[in-house]
Structure 1
Amino acid sequence: MRLLYTQIGRERGWRTFKRPGVDAFLEHLAKFYEVVVYSDQLSMYVDPVMERLDTKGCVRHRLSRVATKYVNGKHYRDLSKLNRDPARVIYISGHALESCLQPENCLPIKPWKLEAEDTQLIDLIPLLEYVATARVSDIRPVLASFEGRDIAAEFLERSRRVFEQKQQHASGRIWRR
């Protein structure tokens, strides 16, 4: 996912901006997940930026360009390089489907280009927390069920429907007694 946006200008040189909610997102999800940043940039660029971004040590590992697969002039994230069970890996990115060799593990979000009102990261927290606490055995069918939809909004709608069904079922039991 794009956690940062970097700009270069004549007057100020390189400037890096954090995506809204990135600190809270990383800090909260680090309680449930092994967070890994996977970039197609060289580690000499990734490491100093990550030192400034992740001051609380929420990101356990960093993968850079050497861990990508170069195909037809483009670097792709190859999640097999994580050496983790693919049923338990989620790759979140604004360009997930175009940058990853395992699309079934991708959770695409809207790319960020400095919009101050962006809430994509914070909006994903309920879904990601649910997946972690429900101990989903294979994340890939869950991700596939959201294909083509606004994932955060769809998850909230599904949660609302489940809550209403439980309420109706519970109120039905009271009347049967």
Structure 2
Amino acid sequence: MSRVAGSRLLPRISALSFCTASPATAAASSSSSTAAVAAAAATASEASSTAGDPSSQPPQTARKPWGALKFAAFAAVSTAVGGTGYVSYAYSLEEVDQMTRELRKKSKQPIPEDASGFEAMAYSAAMKVPVAAIEVYMDVRSQIEDQIRRERGWRTFKRPGVDAFLEHLGRFYEIVVYSDQLSMYVDPVVDRLDPKGNIRHRLSRVATKYENGKHYRDLSKLNRNPAQVLYISAHAKESSLQPENSVEIKPWKLENDDTQLLDLIPFLEYVAMARPSDIRAVLASYQSGDIAAEFIERSKEHQRRMQEQKKSGRIWRR
């Protein structure tokens, strides 16, 4: 084991090395959003035609409650339309089920007996339209995902150079994957990503800290010396509670010619061999933001100075 095995290298699971994608996810999102928009339009049309009929107008005493109810209906429909277009990328099907369970339960509650016919119709439309959109979305997405799993399974795309990155730096660092996703998704991806076992530990969402609607990596939970921890991610400074330990790299967008991981190896190897007392001071000295490129320039400048010193030494000896 290397002398610097105590160092910690923390790649962010979604930015460093892989991308898990389903070609049907976007289709499911588009279909569900369209269904929700159509349902919302139907509700608006029905409400406008009803308003044009004087016989169906609510009494004066009921207008104020109807105003609040109308706003609630609009908010519910808007939430359904916006939500179905977003959850397909941000949440798993199980999470969508949990988040919408309460709304779906409320839609099944009986309408109060003292409600007028107009209020009952408005309440029914306000609750059932978004719930129907959610159920259609979940049903379509479930069928698509099941079909993908049966036919070809989920595909995992490796960032170029990740195999060499893990295998080489695994000799110097204790590599830990720290993700804000659930472990049920992290584990199978890491298994495919690192069949040789260079990744020592895996941390998932349960190890993050939830603040202001976002899951942050808290490096203090590693139970390691913070002066010896490096956190590598495309969004390192904004996703960690310890930005001073962060090494930001460019996000990977499936480019085949990406070299970010390979470019970073010389810097990480130098740090492992030099063993600075506090890596945070080293990171603070790099101002450009591109540590890999700046390290190469510094190395070239150092070699140039060394060559000049050798030349001047030869002249002096003569």
Gaps of 5+ in 1: none
* 1:116 and 2:256 are equivalent in the alignment: yes
Which among 18, 32, 36 is matched to residue 4 of structure 1?
Answer: 18
SS at match of 1:70: strand
Report Cα offsets for 1:127-152 as digits up to 9, x if no partner.
00000001111111111122333211
Any residues of structure 2 matched to 1:28-177 within 5 Å, and which? 28-177=168-317
Q: Which moved more, 1:11-20 or 1:22-31?
A: 11-20
In 2, the alpha carbon distance for the partners of 1:119 and 1:148 equals 18
Q: Is the 8 A contact 2:229 2:279 kept in 1?
A: yes
For residues 42-67 of structure 1, give each alpha carbon's deviation from its aligned partner in whole angstroms, at most 9, with x where no partner exists. Answer: 11111111111111110011111111
Which portions of structure 1, spanning 4 or more consecutive aligned residues, are displaced by more than 3 angstroms? 11-14
Q: Secondary structure at the match of 1:90?
A: strand
Structure 1, 5-14 or 43-52: larger mean CA deviation? 5-14
Other structure's SS at 2:296 match: helix
Percent sequence identity is 67
What is the distance in 2 between the residues matched to 1:50 and 1:4? 9
2:248–2:290: 8 Å Cα contact kept in structure 1?
no
Asked if structure 1 preserves the Cα contact closer than 8 Å seen for 2:156 and 2:192, the reply is: no
SS at match of 1:9: coil
Question: Aligned letter for 1:25?
Answer: F
State the Cα distance separating 1:156 from its structure 2 match: 0.5
Number of equivalenced pairs: 177
Q: Distance in 2 between matches of 1:97 and 1:149?
A: 11
| Residue 167 to residue 148, structure 1, CA distance change in 2 (3 Å) | closer
- What secondary structure does 1:115 align onto? coil
Distance 2:287 2:240 in 1: 16
Q: What residue ranges of structure 2 are gaps of 5+ in the alignment?
A: 1-11, 25-143, 149-153
TM-score scaled by length of structure 1 = 0.96
Which range is displaced more, 6-15 or 120-129? Answer: 6-15
Secondary structure, aligned partner of 1:154: helix
Provide the TM-score with structure 2 as the length reference.
0.54
Residue identity matched to 1:15: R
Q: Structure 1 or 2: larger strand share? A: 1
Q: Secondary structure at the match of 2:22?
A: strand
Query: Contact between 2:179 and 2:204, CA under 8 Å: does it hold in 1?
Result: yes
Specify which structure has the higher proportion of helix. 2
Task: Tell me the amino acid that sits aligned with residue 7 of structure 1.
Answer: A
Q: Secondary structure at the match of 1:60?
A: strand
Name the structure 2 match of 1:20. 160
Structure 1 position 8, deviation (Å): 1.3
Pick which of 158-167 and 5-14 moved more.
5-14
Give the SS at the match of 2:255.
coil
Q: Flag the structure with more relative contact order, 1 or 2, with Cα contacts below 8 A and sequence separation at least 6.
A: 2
Question: What is the SS of the residue equivalent to 1:161?
Answer: helix
SS of the aligned residue for 1:91 comes to strand
